[in-house]
Each structure stands twice: as structure tokens, then as C-alpha cells.
Amino acid sequence: MAIDLHSHSTASDGSAEPSALVRLAVEQGLTTLALTDHDTQEGIEEARAATAGTDLELIAGTELSLEYDAGGMHLLVLWLEPGSGPLQSRLATLRQWRNRRNEQIVAALTELGMPMTIDEVTEEAGSGSVGRPHIAAVMMAKGYVESIEEAFEHWLAAGKPAYWSRPRLRPEEAIQLALESGGVPILAHPHTLNINRAAEMADLLTELCKAGLVGLEAIYSSYRQHERDGYADLARRFGLVPSGGSDYHGSYKPGLDLGRGYGDLVVPDSVLDDLRRHAANP
């Protein structure tokens, strides 16, 4: 038995179509997969249809980028059903904010001597949510960089020459919207927050728990065992469920496998049971 509670498809910046992702999950022997595309649920219907005749449980979700100055704060929302709802109806606006930001990045890169058009980015992305990994892929195709990682490291990451921020939901607001929509909010990959001091992390988690946070992603592909243990301890101290997932993106994050991360990812079923208790429609 194996589960994976964080993954991306072509509906955002993953390279596998939702149905292909489901087939991959079945091949890997997963029993539960959460599809958590950035700011969209466009892939859920196709993914769910693809589970027919299999034993795979598909959890509908999304991943949101939140307003936070010190680093990147992402929120996974699981058991969020596509359709109408307080959070669901905000997703289109979040994608519009992305698109405006993407145009600024494309203009900046062009200015920096790496000409490209937004149409090229849109073509790379297909329908759905368009993000920096798609821009990075166009940069690679044009020979400006040799890898997606290099595109981020030199140009696209926060503080780099072609970085542009975009309006995002505030953490408390996003958590509240998730809860009002029947979803289960989980703070994703906490290392990207860029918090080094334990007291600062404690203050932040105190705030987020007050807002209704349910889980903390302690088991993540790039984490060593001691980091997973450390974050799981932290989660327990705040009454949070130590969640886990691969953050699979296919070719946009090479070397990372669905369900097993870099080979040693194991998310226990107990995590799923503990999270499920918080879902409105589990």
C-alpha cells in the first residue's frame, strides 16, 4: 500500500495528462492519489474517469501560492470538489493574476536578450494553469538554458532578474476559504518558507493553526529522513497531521517519481486516515 497526496498534471505544470497520471499511479501500486494542480481543478474530471475499473482512490485538490514575504508559502487543499464553492470560485481570478505576471516575465526575458512570446508559453502549457516551469521549458527549447532548474536559478526564482511577483491570497483567507469549501488545508513543503529560527516557525504555525490549518507536509521528496522526522515532530506539537506527497511534475521536475519521490518516499496510510477525518465529504 502506498499513497501520494501531492501531484501535478498538464492541467498545471505537470507533464502527464490527468489520465496518464492515474495510469502511472496504478502501475506504481498506489492506493490513493491526490491531484493538486496549481490554482485549478481542470484535471480532476478526467483523472477521476480514468480511475474507473481500478482500485485507485483519487482525491480532488489544488495547490495555492499565498502572500508571504520571507519565502514561498504554498497551501494544499484536499477533498476540494470541483464546481461551485467559496474557494473554487476564486481560482479563475488566481489564474488571471498568473497570466498577467507571466506576460511581465516574458517581457523581462525579452528585454534581457532572451526573446520569446506569451503565445509560445501558452502553447507549451496547453489549457489550464500557466506557470514559470512552462516559461522555463520555452527557455530550454530556445537554448537559453540547459535545464528548468537553471532557468529558475539564474532568471526566474525570487530575487532573480526576470522575477515578478503576483497578487496572492493571504494565508488566513485561503485557509478559511478552504474550510468553508469543505476542503482540508495543508501547509506544503515548509522548507520553502525560508524560516531558519524555530521561534519564527512556531509563531507562524500558531497563527495558521488559529486560522484552521489541518496538516503540515512533513514527508516530501527532497527531504532527508531527519528532516521528515523533524517536521513530523513539529506537526504533532501543533496538533497538525504530518502529511506527505511527492510533488510529482513529470519532465518539469526530472528524476522524481510519482509515489516514491527520489526513491525513499513513504507516506503511511495513517496520515490519510487522520486527514480524512477533517474532510466534509471524505
- The residues that touch Zn ion, with contacts defined as CB under 5 A, are 13
User: Rounded to the nearest whole angstrom, what is the least distance from the CB of residue 143 to Fe ion in the complex?
Assistant: 27
Site mask, ligand AMP, residues 253-282, x = CB under 6 A? Answer: ------------------------------
Q: In whole angstroms, give the CA distance from residue 195 to residue 192.
A: 8
Q: What is the CB neighbour count within 10 angstroms for residue 281?
A: 9
> In 3D, which of 133, 194, 188, 130 has the Cα closest to residue 159?
194
Would you say 41 or 144 has its CB closer to Fe ion?
Answer: 41
Pick the binder of ligand AMP from 5, 9, 11, 13 (CB under 6 A): 13
Task: Indicate the pairing of strand 73-78 with strand 3-4.
Answer: unpaired
Q: Are 181 and 188 in contact (CB under 8 A)?
A: no
Q: In whole angstroms, give the CA distance from residue 151 to residue 175.
A: 31
Under rule CB under 6 A, residue 149 binds ligand AMP: yes
Q: Are 61 and 40 in contact (CB under 8 A)?
A: no
The one of Zn ion, ligand AMP, Fe ion, none whose footprint includes residue 65, by CB under 5 to 8 A per kind, is ligand AMP
Pick the binder of ligand AMP from 18, 43, 61, 131 (CB under 6 A): 131
User: Rounded to the nearest whole angstrom, what is the least distance from the CB of residue 24 to ligand AMP in the complex?
Assistant: 18
> In the sheet that 184-187 helps form, which strands lie side by side, from edge to edge?
3-4, 32-35, 57-66, 73-78, 184-187, 215-220, 241-245
Give strand ranges (E) for the chain.
3-4, 32-35, 57-66, 73-78, 184-187, 215-220, 241-245
123-135 burial string, b = 16+ CB within 10 Å, else e? ebbeebbbbbbbb
Under rule CB under 6 A, residue 146 binds ligand AMP: no
Pick the binder of Fe ion from 5, 39, 64, 74 (CB under 5 A): 74
Pick the binder of ligand AMP from 32, 65, 181, 221 (CB under 6 A): 65
User: Rounded to the nearest whole angstrom, what is the least distance from the CB of residue 161 to Fe ion in the complex?
Assistant: 22
Would you say 13 or 46 has its CB closer to Zn ion?
Answer: 13
Q: What grid cell was written down for 16?
A: 502527464
Under rule CB under 6 A, residue 133 binds ligand AMP: yes
Pick the binder of Fe ion from 247, 252, 260, 272 (CB under 5 A): 247
User: Rounded to the nearest whole angstrom, what is the least distance from the CB of residue 38 to Zn ion in the complex?
Assistant: 5
User: Rounded to the nearest whole angstrom, what is the least distance from the CB of residue 157 to Fe ion in the complex?
Assistant: 13
Q: In whole angstroms, give the CA distance from residue 165 to residue 120.
A: 21
Would you say 14 or 215 has its CB closer to ligand AMP?
Answer: 14
Under rule CB under 6 A, residue 61 binds ligand AMP: no
Would you say 74 or 101 has its CB closer to Fe ion?
Answer: 74
Distance between the two ends of the chain, CA-based, in angstroms? 19
Total H helices, total E strands in the chain: 10, 7
Under rule CB under 5 A, residue 37 binds Fe ion: no
Residues that bind Fe ion (CB under 5 A): 63, 74, 188, 247
Residues that bind ligand AMP (CB under 6 A): 13, 38, 65, 131-133, 148-149, 152, 157, 249
